[in-house]
Amino acid sequence: MEMNKRLLYLLHRYGSVLLDEPMANHTTYKTGGPADCFFVPKDPACLGEVCEASAKEGISVLVIGGGSNLLVSDKGIRGIVVALCGEGESGIRIADSDDNLLYADARVDKKAFLEFALRRGFSGMEFLAGLPGCIGGGIVMNAGTSMGWFSDILTRVRIITKDGLVREKNISGDMISYRGLKFERGNIILGGYFRLQKAENPEEARKRVDDIILDREHKHPLEYPSAGSVFKNPEGHASWKLINDAGLRGYTIGGAMVSEKHTNFIINTGFATSSDIYRLIRHVQEQVEKRFGVHLEPEVKVLGEF
Ligand SMILES: Cc1cc2nc3c(=O)[nH]c(=O)nc-3n(C[C@H](O)[C@H](O)[C@H](O)COP(=O)(O)OP(=O)(O)OC[C@H]3O[C@@H](n4cnc5c(N)ncnc54)[C@H](O)[C@@H]3O)c2cc1C
């Protein structure tokens, strides 16, 4: 797609721009075709203006974080992909020490946030141990585990609305769902406020984190590219068990395989295309539906044309 010259000039002014950039370089699946334009802003405050200028040209804008929950089509993504990730502890501040409130920029890696909070003697955020990606992606996905979700500690978000305005919004109960926080279409997350607790015993908090990481290393096929669990757990079921009981452990299409270690992971064995992964997702859905009459809904965000 031909990018408008004025728009390109604007993007170059505000950050770095790569044209026809393979999304395989930006997804943990290591698959996905080219984004017309891959943009990393120096300061996300420019995104209001960028979105307005793009909308005038009829060019779509997609914001991503660390790409750890994405399956991007081999045909790529039309328009502009904005990457908000890769920030360290400099993107975190204590917003209110009496209230144990931290603010983290959307671009901050979850790992950096966890480390920052542990070092300052907080607890309540240990469930973040081993979760890939960034704060913004974690907020949108309401990421978490059986030990906690983002919505347990997130109180308020800073967003850019689709009209380009920077706003703060409290998290209310009706926004919270399993693997998702509901925002208005087109909202971009700039950061979030997290309420933690002072750990009674900070060393115990660190020990919990170390144990969680060891347990995840033991249970998850981290030696292969993946996007973590592919399917949400349907009410009353564990997806990994349904997939296992449907006889799909190790089932392969092209370079994509249902992990033998954890059957809710589909792994890239080294040469998978996104199409292989997509076809395997569909196959698993069909087989589980046929055998048990249960629909598996993907947790992974499928982007582009398949
Ligand atoms: C090995 C492995 C293990 C995993 N384990 C878990 C787990 O235990 N629990 C869990 O919940 N998830 C898990 N995941 C999935 C994934 O890591 C989480 O969903 C993570 O929070 C996604 O963050 P991200 O920054 O990579 O977001 P991305 O994958 O880049 O984006 C996710 C979604 O958020 C949107 N988005 C991202 N940033 C913004 C922003 N700033 N503004 C607006 N929209 C935005 C994207 O458009 C997309 O729709 C795992 C993944 C892997 C690879």
DSSP per residue over 51-90, as a string?
A: HHHHHHHT--EEEESSSTTEEE-TT-EEEEEEE---B-GG
Distance CA 44, CA 47 (A): 5
Contact of 81 with 113, CB cutoff 8 Å: no
Helix-helix angle 110-119:202-219, to 10 degrees: 150
CA pair distance 156, 287, nearest whole angstrom: 41
Percentage above 90 pLDDT, the chain: 97
Rounded-to-integer distance, Cα 124 and Cα 163, Å:
35
Domain with CATH 3.90.78.10 in the chain: 239-303
- Using CA positions, which residue lies closest to atom 32 of ligand 1? 137
Determine which residue's CA is closest to atom 48 belonging to ligand 1: 64
**DSSP codes of every residue in 145-175:** ETTEEGGGTEEEEEEE-TTS-EEEEE--GGG
CA of 98 to the centre of ligand 1 (A): 30
Q: What is the pLDDT of residues 95-127, one digit of tens each?
A: 999 999 999 999 999 999 999 999 999 999 999
Digit-coded pLDDT (tens) for 74-91: 999 999 999 999 999 999
According to CATH, where is 3.30.465.10 located in the chain? 89-219
pLDDT tens digits for 14-52?
Answer: 999 999 999 999 999 999 999 999 999 999 999 999 999
Per CATH, is 89-219 categorized as 3.30.465.10? Answer: yes
Q: Architecture of 5-83 per CATH?
A: 2-Layer Sandwich (3.30)
The whole-number pLDDT of residue 2 equals 66
- In angstroms, what is the span from residue 133 Cα to ligand 1's centroid? 6
Query: Sheet holding 266-268: strands in order across?
Result: 252-253, 256-258, 266-268
CATH code 3.30.43.10 region(s) in the chain: 5-83
Active site positions, annotated: 179, 229, 299
Question: Residue 162: which pLDDT band, with cuts at 50, 70 and 90?
Answer: confident
CATH topology for 239-303?
3.90.78
Q: Look at residue 286 and tell me whether its pLDDT is greater than 90.
A: yes
The mean predicted confidence, pLDDT, of the chain is: 97
Indicate which atom in ligand 1 lies nearest the CA of residue 143: 11
Cα 69 to averaged position of ligand 1 atoms, centre (Å) = 4
pLDDT of residue 159: 98
Q: Which protein residue has the closest C-alpha to ligand 1 atom 5?
A: 228
Q: Which residues line ligand 1 at a C-beta cut-off of 6 Å?
A: 28, 62-70, 84-85, 106, 131-134, 136-138, 140-141, 143-145, 188-189, 220, 222, 226-228, 301
| Position 151 pLDDT exceeds 80 | yes
The pLDDT tens digits of the residues spanning 129-140 come to 999 999 999 999
Question: What is the DSSP code (8-state) at residue 222?
Answer: T
When pLDDT is cut at 50, 70 and 90, the band that residue 4 belongs to is: confident
**How remote is the CA of residue 82 from the centroid of ligand 1, in Å?**
15
